[in-house]
Structure 1
Amino acid sequence: MRIVITGASGNVGTALLRRLAEDAPGHDIVGVVRRPPEPAGVYDTVRWHSVDLAEPDAATRLRPLFEGADTVVHLAWGFQPTRNTEYLTRVGVGGTTAVLHAAHDVSVGQLVHMSSVGTYAGGRYARRVDESWCTSGIPSSPYSRDKSAAEGLLDDYERDHGDAGVGIARMRPGFIVQRAAASGLMRYALPGWVPMLAVPLLPVLPLDRRLCIPLVHADDVAAAVVRAIERRATGAFNLAAEPPVTRTEVAKVLGSFPVHVPSRVLGALVDLSWRMRLQPIDRGWLDLAFSVPLLDCGRARTELGWQPRWSSVAALTDVITGVAEQAHTESPPLRARSMVEQVRRDLTEGLMTTRHLP
């Protein structure tokens, strides 16, 4: 098969390349990213093309790359700069528009779109929902708003084209983690002046005792994507490991003592520190963590034959171990950056939350 993957060098993309190399090494894989990685390791068997999905000509540049593709897997998304939400929307919503138009214009066989638990509306916190739950998102989270808007584009396309259009599968995973993404995840979550190694050494975990979120390992998300490709699946699929992650599990993995701090207090602190440019995460991410529902994954089990190999606690342990080891890959989104390098970039190019490109 010829498979084109946008965002192929990121968290899920790297796991998907590993899975395809192990299970089906004969596929013709095309990677579409803003910054192509060096052709080494898992990135060596991919034909890379540089396209910024936020640019107005993205659909035009994607068409020849999509020509003849059996499947397009759309993973590309932006998480920084959090102060430039207009750019993030151009990447997420505009990029999805470009991918959808290009896939339709060249009659791609299937589109697998990476959505998120973040597309779901609030109102069912710590309770499970199936794929029929409202996808209006969490209004205070820019990430969630864009995930919801992207799914709205797919809804409009399916309504307008029906069976004559591209078949679309939507993956709706919980929070996705893996060891290899530790450096990339921490770079987006920590100020440049805070070393990664400080995270596993936290003596106290100040967190609301109500925390209850779906989490899944990137390898299991990749497995679900491969199953969807093999079965030419369409429709939405929730993806999460068991059990739901609570404050207790997080504290155990970190070896920290949990201290109850209400989410509204944490939210105010996160918002204030973000506005003061002390850390890179906006309040929307905390609102998301205390608003999104848990996921009923029955449809993925039944229609894809999918079952996660990693428990949520094992997945969380994997990424925290990666943080302690400063795990990374050599792709631009996931490579390691020293504290000195991050501070230098903050001083010369501006903070990651404000610079034009992360």
Structure 2
Amino acid sequence: MRLIITGATGNVGTSLLNRLRGGSEHLDQNLELVGLARRPPAQVPPYDGLQWHAIDVAHPDAIDLLRPIFEGADAVIHLVWAFQPTHDRNYLRRVGVDGTLAVAAAAEAAGVAHLIHMSSGAVYSPAPGRTVDESAPRGGVPGSVYSVDKAAAEAGLDDFEKNSSVAVTRVRPGFIGQQAAGSELGRYTLPRGIPAGVLKYLPLLPVDRSLAIPAVHADDVADALARMVFARATGAFNLSVDPPLGTDDFGAALHARPVHVPRPLLTLLVDVTWRAHLQPVHRGWIDLAYSVPLLDSARARRELQWAPRYSAQDTLDAAVRGVIGGDAGDSPVLRRRSPFDGTR
């Protein structure tokens, strides 16, 4: 099997390479892996031994650039997504929406049979506190750029599937974390000039107590992806573990006492500081956190025999340890954060 992985150097991509190369009952011993990334990594595990191609899926000629690479592939797992810089709205859409549709078009042109798209539970219409399965409405959360673009990418794939022979799988996880992605998460969330270690001394956590977020560990997502590709599973799959993350879970992970602050005030504070370029988190992430539904993952458990190893609290604890400890990987995406590091 020849398998193409876009975004193979990020949080999920790195876990997926470890999963595919670690040996299991699902591993195809004749597996040929090809990695795509805007900045290919050094030839160190788990990135060594792959064919690597440096491509930005936001490039206007992305379809023509991708098609010859996709030739002869049995499947493409599309993981690429841009989270930053949040002030460059056009770039985020070019990567997330236009890039996804370019990957799909290139896969069809190259005769690829199976496309697995990393979507998100954020595609669902607002339903805070409700648990939804894969049939729920997919309007996204209007205030969240991430959610709107994930929903737009799936809508584009809906149209693509109507006239295509490519089988499409949509993966819809909750928050994905792991310790090795700590520096990456720190770059995306912490203000420049602020060392991550200050989080150890955070006495209070301002948060609206209605918070409930579905979560899943990167290694468990990687396991689900491997099962999808080898089983040629199609359709949509929610991925999360119960119970979801709430206010007390975040307080426990940060060793800080939660203090209730109404959501409108939190949103205002985040918006003002983002507009002033004091921190990188757009207010849409607050809108998403308090609007996203909880995820019913029964289909993945039933049809893929997916059995996640980590709880949501395990995932959050690992992510927080990684941010505070500056945990990093050997790819440009997972590189160690400095307080003055850029976001890309």
TM-score (norm 2): 0.97
Residue of structure 1 equivalent to 2:61? 57
Q: CA deviation at 1:190?
A: 0.8
List per-residue Cα deviations over 1:73-121 (Å, max 9, x = no partner).
0000101111111111000111111100000011112100000011111
Q: Deviations over 1:112-138 (max 9, x none)?
A: 00000111110x211100000111101
Which one of the candidate residues 129, 136, 140 is aligned to 1:137? Answer: 140
The answer to whether the 8 A contact 2:326-2:337 is kept is no
Residue of structure 2 equivalent to 1:45: 49
Residues 1:240 and 2:243 are matched in the alignment: no
User: Which residue in 1 is equivalent to 2:95?
Assistant: 91
Equivalent position amino acid for 1:158 in 2: E
Alignment root-mean-square deviation, CA? 1.1
Where does residue 218 of structure 1 map in the other structure?
A: 218
Give how far 1:141 is off: 0.8
Distance 2:133 2:53 in 1: 36
Question: Which amino acid in structure 1 is aligned with residue 248 of structure 2?
Answer: T
Query: How do residues 98-137 of structure 1 correspond to structure 2 at under 5 angstroms?
Result: 98-122=102-126, 124-137=127-140
More helix by share: 1
Structure 1 match to 2:154: 151
Question: Once superposed, which parts of structure 1, at least 4 consecutive aligned residues long, lie more than 4 Å away?
Answer: none
Distance apart, 1:337 and its partner CA: 2.7
Which secondary structure does the structure 2 equivalent of 1:244 belong to? strand
- State the distance in 2 between where 1:46 and 1:197 align: 35
**Residue equivalent to 2:312:** 312
Shift of 1:202: 1.2
Instruction: Name the CA distance, whole Å, in 2 between partners of 1:160 and 1:110.
Output: 15
Q: Give 1:282-321 correspondences, 5 Å limit.
A: 282-321=282-321
Partner SS, residue 171 of structure 2: strand
Task: Give the aligned partner of residue 349 of structure 1.
Answer: none
The one-letter amino acid of 2:155's match is G
Alignment match, 1:78: 82
Report SS of the residue matched to 1:313: helix
- Cα pair distance change 1:200/1:27, threshold 3 Å: farther
Give identity over the alignment, percent. 51
Counterpart of 1:322 in structure 2: which amino acid? Answer: G
Secondary structure of the corresponding residue to residue 236 of structure 2 = strand
Q: Hey, what does 2:202 align to over in structure 1?
A: 202
Structure 2 unaligned regions, length at least 5: none
Distance 1:327 1:200 in 2: 15
Question: Deviation of residue 26 (structure 1)?
Answer: 4.4
Q: Aligned partner of 1:315: which letter?
A: T
Q: Deviations over 1:304-347 (max 9, x none)?
A: 111211000111111112123211002111100322x42xx6xx
Counterpart CA distance in 1 for 2:235 and 2:63 is: 23
Q: How high is the TM-score relative to the length of structure 1?
A: 0.93
Shift of 1:58: 0.6
How many Å apart are 1:47 and its aligned residue?
A: 1.2
Contact 1:200 1:320 (8 Å CA) reproduced: no
- Letter of the 2:54 partner, please give it: S
The 1-side partners of 2:317 and 2:21 are apart by 25
Judge conservation of contact 2:97–2:152 (CA < 8 Å) in 1.
yes
Contact 1:200/1:323, CA 8 A, preserved across alignment: no
C-alpha separation in 2, matches of 1:273 and 1:322: 25
Total equivalences in the alignment: 340
Distance, in Å, in 1 between the alignment partners of 2:47 and 2:267 is 39
DSSP 3-state at the match of 2:299 = helix
